[in-house]
Amino acid sequence: LISCRSHRPADCYHCQFAKLAVGVLSGKYSPRPSPELLEVLKNDQSDKDASKQPFQVGVPPRMFKKIVGKDHPEFSGPKQQDAMEFFQHILGVMQQKEHAHGVDPTTSFQFKLEERFECSGCHCVRYRSLKTSDLPIAIPEKRLDSEEKSDEKTSEAQMEVDNGNGSGSGSGSGSATISSSSDVKKDKKPKEKAALKLAPVTLDECLNLWSQPTLLENYSCGVCKKATTAVQQYRFSSFPEVLVMQARRFVYDQWLPRKLDVDVSIPDGFSLSSLVAKGRQAGEKESPQTANSVPAKPTPDDSIVRAIVEMGFSENAAKRAALVVKNESSAAAMNWIFANMETPDLNDPIPSEDPPSAQESGAPVPDLMVAELISMGFAQDRAEYALRQTSNNMERAVDWLFSHIDEPLPKKANNNKTEDNTAGPAAGANYELFGFVNHLGKFASSGHYVAYLKLNGKWTQFNDHKVSVALKAPREQAYMYFFRKV
């Protein structure tokens, strides 16, 4: 704070981050309530003023939040925000702001995954290394017996309404469907389904679901020389000091967003040793390491595009949605559109092919752009290469540099160099839970987040500015989990 040379500390990332750190770590701004105040509150149980309740007052990071959310379409305003997306955004901001100083405070969260492809035709394999900072896991949906019976009754009642026998306004078969389609055209925004109560599951079941092989369409095999299918599977090549795990509680059901109300049994500690990557095995035939040995770029399915356009959406939005969901189905494409209605380029044309880079077209790299990237802490050769790869687009070049921050620049003499897929030892795969974040509410678009942190063996609750010992820590309903390596 003292050494910062900024003339506007209120708009300085480093000033606001340092101020937050001092406020949280020093203890000066979180004094315990006085005995006199506790006695008054004890005798006045009718006082509902939250500011007078006997809890530890925390430090509200309003100015810090303003800095990290500046100019962001989601985080710069008071809109309902996703905790996981905000966490990822903060990590990205920290990387950008600290890169010029040669440090990366987010390395504790980073780890690598081994992505394995096996061609369904020739059974040749292809390995790829992916760097990430969080692990999203799907939750198995196992219906309770009572829910299944309830669904059957609801379906029967809906059929009566659709056939004109119920109390609905439809006068004949199909009228309810037509009315619903018309509503979608007008509003283009679905109503939400309430949270569905499901049978409890375990963390092991979630991890088993994540690690299962999945079928990948439109895989371009370097041996078969054509688009085919492949089996895709993930394993851990390395393990982070802090593992951030996201329980994917928000899903789409018949185009409508829904929250999964399911208890996930989370142990105090667990091991990922069974999910360690092993690299290429004896007897496996490796696919040629060419640019074509990756999933081919698909084209939008015409039937999916037509179905979405008939509902009142633009052709560009329909094509974009079909590509994003890999032509899975019109329902999946509609789910994506509903979840991304406010995306600025939703209706923009999709280029038929990527434009040639500055390197391919022979365009020079502007010296001013190179100098600006160097001032941000990037080496000259990396700055020039990034600009060439992005057709001298400064914003895209910065994104490229941060997304390829640890990757060496390619060398023409080493085009056929093979990847090192050797995994590390299983040691370091053991973790213990020390924090989690809960989403309170039955709907995906509204609710409230409460964080829990284990301090000195006790769970502490962080609820806005209220900090108190948690009498109950509902980890089974958490949306985000934080595990520490042991």
3-class secondary-structure state, position 145: helix
- For the chain, the distance separating the N- and C-terminal CA atoms, rounded to the nearest angstrom, is 34
Q: Are 235 and 113 in contact (CB under 8 A)?
A: yes
Note the pLDDT of residue 411.
55
**Residue 362 φ/ψ region, left for φ over 0, alpha for ψ in the -120 to 50 degree band, beta for the rest:** left
Q: How far apart are CA 17 and CA 96, in angstroms?
A: 14
Nearest to 114 by CA among 289, 233, 206, 203: 233
3-class secondary-structure state, position 109: helix
> What's the predicted TM-score (pTM) here?
0.65
Q: Residue 193's beta-bridge partner residues?
A: none
Residue 81 token pair: 């925000």
Q: How far apart are CA 172 and CA 276, in angstroms?
A: 58
Ranges of beta strands (E only) in 122-169 are 125-132, 135-138
Residue whose structure tokens are 């309902």: 80
The DSSP result for 353-370, as a single string, is: SPPPPHHHHTPPPPHHHH
DSSP symbol at 240: -
Nearest to 69 by CA among 82, 58, 53: 82
Q: Are 483 and 266 in contact (CB under 8 A)?
A: no
Q: Are 63 and 19 in contact (CB under 8 A)?
A: yes
Residue 221 token pair: 């095999």
Query: With the CA atoms of 78, 83, 88 and 89 taken in that order, what torsion angle do they form, in degrees rounded to the nearest 10?
Result: 10
User: Max Cα separation, the chain?
Assistant: 80
**Residue 254 φ/ψ region, left for φ over 0, alpha for ψ in the -120 to 50 degree band, beta for the rest:** left
pLDDT tens by residue, the chain, 486 residues? 566 766 788 888 888 888 888 888 887 776 666 777 666 655 654 444 444 445 666 677 888 888 888 878 778 877 778 899 899 888 888 888 887 777 888 999 999 999 999 999 899 998 988 889 999 999 998 877 655 455 545 444 444 444 444 433 333 333 332 233 333 333 444 456 555 678 899 999 999 999 999 998 888 888 888 888 999 999 999 999 999 999 998 887 777 778 888 999 999 999 999 999 988 888 888 887 544 444 455 678 887 888 888 777 888 888 888 888 777 777 778 877 877 776 766 777 775 544 444 444 445 678 788 888 887 878 888 888 888 877 777 877 887 787 677 667 765 433 333 344 334 445 678 999 999 999 998 877 788 999 999 998 899 998 887 888 888 899 999 999 999 999
